[in-house]
Amino acid sequence: MSRKQTIVMEWLRMNAPHPLTIRTAVGLIGGNIYDNHGKHVGALLSNMVRRGLLQRTRPGEFVLTAHQDSRAFKLEGEE
């Protein structure tokens, strides 16, 4: 899992059951490289939905999937 995906997962775990909005996600992980921050972050979140990590509750809002065990997500190199 990438650093940006890990940040998203940690935010969702810490703020459950509140959904993560694209605007909040841009504040967490976007804004440092890309001109269209919302599009980049939206693509990252959509990819996480396709992989089963997140669920889209409404357009632009995301939560952990119901079957997610958030304890299973660790930073790379973490035991």
pLDDT at 43: 92
Domain CATH for 28: 1.10.10.10
DSSP 3-state of 34: coil
**Number of domain units in the chain:** 1
Q: Which tens digits make up the pLDDT trace of 7-25? A: 999 999 999 999 999 999 9
For residue 33, is it within any domain?
Answer: yes
Alpha helices in the chain (DSSP H): 3-15, 22-29, 37-50
Structural domain boundaries enclosing 33:
3-65
CB neighbours of 23 closer than 8 A, spacing ≥ 6?
A: 38, 60
The pTM for the full model equals: 0.78
